[in-house]
Structure 1
Amino acid sequence: MTRNFSLLFSLIFSAIVGLTGCNAQMTRNKTERFSITENKPGKRIDISVDGKPFTSYIYPDELMKPVLYPLRTSQGTLVTRGWPMDPRPGERVDHPHHVGLWFNYGDVNGLDFWNNSTDIPAAKKNAFGTIKHASVRKMTGGDNSAELEVTMDWQKPDGTKLLTEETKFIFSEAGGTRTIERITTLKALGEDVSFKDNKEGLLGIRLARELEHPSKKAEIFTDASGKATNVAQLNNEGITGKYRSSEGKEGDDVWGTRGDWVNLNSKIGTEPISMVILDHPSNIGYPTYWHARGYGLFAANPLGQKEMSAGKDVLNFKLPAGKSVTFRYKILIHSGNNLSDEQVEREANRFAAQK
């Protein structure tokens, strides 16, 4: 009897241990929705959701600042311009410094960080600043989001560090809407840092051709092979972008006005797309001025108030040595019916409530 009981106990114990081990293995094998992978030789970090590309944080030598590139909808549609990194037919070939989603400024202690690119002649490089990726502080995936925390250095032409940047990205997706939250802290190092009023700033996205405003102006575009070609009259078929701000401004009238948010409604092929930038009440210069151009530059600029207001407002923000300032923005990339004012306002209120 005792031997039978011992045998039964041993069998039950073995079954429990086996089941526990199986559950642990299943837990280890469970795939999280969001994954984030670093490729140091390729100077990039790739973010994906449900096995599909979301975006990448890239810092190749040919860019003068790290950027998120490219941006995609939940359907995989590219919403940022490919040129000059990956030219696609029918794209404009202006402003080679407009790549993906970036953060920099046009006058930092007299240095232009915004316009710097490989197109700048060596003889003029001493007027431009460069932002260099320094390190990855944190990188996590999960079921609800992925997070990336990085450090960058804002450098003078001789490589001296002017500012240290610490940025946290939060990537998420729900109901056809992908979101990118960017929390950026700049710290002045050995000297005071002046951000003189300048229209070139601060958070920018360069949009795909289909998301631009229709235009009749002659321009230079890429042909089917990616070569730059003069186009006397634009083909506006499928070009349906239109900005709308929280203050009811529309189209090109959004430029140089203030607002809590701007929503760009358009479509690519048959896919309705809304792209939104939300400002945060904690930001310097809130509500931001909008540097939103019909040719595809979508930017929020809280620091260039004199330039954006034709002299009505003046900021000339200064950051004393050793002090820090933080900027928070949220980008929505929505696939589906275009977002209404009411829908965007709800998202803006939720974002504003975050501390």
Structure 2
Amino acid sequence: MRRIKLRILKRRNDTMTFRMHGGVEVVLTGSHFRSIWTWLLVCWICGGANGDAPLPNAKPVPAMQVIPLPYDQASFQTHGVELTRYHFGATLRRPFLFPINGPTGRSYTRMGHPHDPITHSHHNSVWISHDNVNGHSFWADRSDSQILHRKVIRYDDTGETSAMVCENHWIAAGQTLLIERRRIQVQSVGNQESLITIQLDLRSASEDPVTLGSTAFGLLGVRMAKSIGVHDGGGMIRNSEGNVDEIGPNGCFRKPARWCDYSGPVAENQNGGILLMDHPGNPGHPTPFHVRQDGWMGTCLTLQKEIQVTQDSPLRLSYRLYVHAGALEHDELNQRWNDFSKTQLWEFEP
């Protein structure tokens, strides 16, 4: 917003004289003081007479930016408004994204289970982890395993997207099992809606293979805001195959799908939700979704089959979240997945 500077030259009874940039004087008298239109006119004139000197070498300011912050955080912003924030401090069990702000300006996710904050403290808004890596759990907080952020490799800002690339080490019993490179890209799609794409490359940290064993927990989890959940807020769960809600013969629970959407109330008379998409290049696509009425949604990468990871055969994955206003129609949600399906798995630099 442009700051307007006015210099008051005279003020006598009901008359006020202003001097603007360039020496132009404006005199207001009588009822002018009480007219909002008069003040808007003055502001418009002053705005046109802005005193900023030209910058011949000025470059466009990216609409999307990722801003490094203190305490090991990075804020993804569009025109200065935060869409999400990445937390990667060394004391955390795992890095995560919070908040996930939607068009209402409120977060569509939360930290922890609304009715079980202690044993579900590992529900960190949007996060990556797994419950069975060579028999070690990286899922629950009561485990001593940790996904430890090691370094930020790069930040990128463009007109439409911002991104950061990080390296994480998956450590259990004092041993590094996996070396992970993670790319988080955020794109504003208008009206403070956003696309958040998380791309992963996981390799064994040694010459020994690492096994991601069978489990329903991992690799990506989303803890929805309390008001969006079916149980607490009267929200709605749908997937690409036409399944609805959690349970029942037509429920979404652990059903393979290309995408799963969780929508519900986010403010008075306003709905919103998150569409979680599985890339067709991911192993086991379409993935089963572990989704609950209490507001929990996640992908089950190894529910049906374990995956072995080596240094030469990495696990490469891509997921996308669409943070949207309203409870959208099936066709519109499906189109978002179609757009995502045309993207390529990210090629990380050696």
Report TM bin, short chain. Answer: 0.7 to 0.9
What residue is the counterpart of 1:37 in the other structure?
67
Q: Assess if the C-alpha contact under 8 Å between 2:169 and 2:179 holds in 1.
A: yes
Contact 1:212 1:241 in 2 (8 A): yes
Report the Cα distance in structure 2 between the residues aligned to 1:137 and 1:298, rounded to whole angstroms.
29
TM superposition shift of 1:322: 3.9
* CA deviation vs aligned residue, 1:26-79 (integer Å, no higher than 9, x gap): x24x4321121213x511111111111111110235520011111110331111
Post-superposition Cα deviations, 1:100-136, rounded to whole Å, max 9, x if no partner, equal 1111110000100011x2xx2xxxx4xx421001111
- Give the drift of 1:240: 2.1
- Count of residues in correspondence between the two structures: 284
Report the equivalent of 1:170. 185
1:329 partner letter: Y
Describe the SS at the equivalent of 2:219. strand
Q: Distance in 2 between matches of 1:241 and 1:301?
A: 22
In structure 2, the residue matched to 1:63 is 92
| Alpha-carbon contact 2:254-2:300 (below 8 Å) kept | no
Q: 2:343 & 2:228 partners in 1: Cα distance?
A: 30
Q: Match of 2:282, as an amino acid?
A: N
CA drift of 1:142 comes to 2.5
Contact 1:91–1:209 (CA<8 Å) still a contact in 2? no
Q: Please give the alpha-carbon distance, in whole angstroms, between the structure 2 residues aligned to 1:208 and 1:169.
A: 21
- Please, what TM-score do these two structures have when normalized by structure 1? 0.76
Give ranges in structure 2 of 5+ residues lacking alignment.
1-52, 345-350
Q: What code does the residue aligned with 1:131 have?
A: I
Contact 1:137 1:150 in 2 (8 A): yes
Equivalent runs, 1:218-297 vs 2, <5 Å: 236=232, 239-252=233-246, 253-269=251-267, 270-297=269-296
Q: How does 1:117-156 map to 2 (within 5 A)?
A: 117=141, 120=142, 125=143, 128-156=144-172
Counterpart for residue 325 of structure 1: 315
Which of 117, 124, 135 is the matching residue for 1:93?
A: 117
> Which of the two has higher C-alpha Rg?
2
Unaligned 5+ runs, structure 1 = 1-20, 85-89, 215-235, 306-314
Query: Which residue is 1:74 aligned to?
Result: 103
Question: Following TM superposition, by how much is the alpha carbon of 1:165 offset from its aligned partner in structure 2, in angstroms?
Answer: 0.6
Specify the SS of the correspondent of 1:345. Answer: helix
Structure 1 residue runs of 4 or more that deviate by more than 6 Å after TM superposition: none
Identity %: 21
CA-to-aligned-CA distance 1:119-159 (integer Å, 9 cap, x gap): x2xxxx4xx4210011111112232111111111111221x
Q: Aligned letter for 2:54?
A: C
**1:102–1:63 CA distance, 2 compared to 1 (3 A):** same
Q: Distance in 2 between matches of 1:255 and 1:141?
A: 38
Cα offset, 1:302, TM superposition: 2.1
Q: Which residue of 2 aligns with 1:183?
A: 199
- What is the one-letter code of the residue matched to 2:215? N
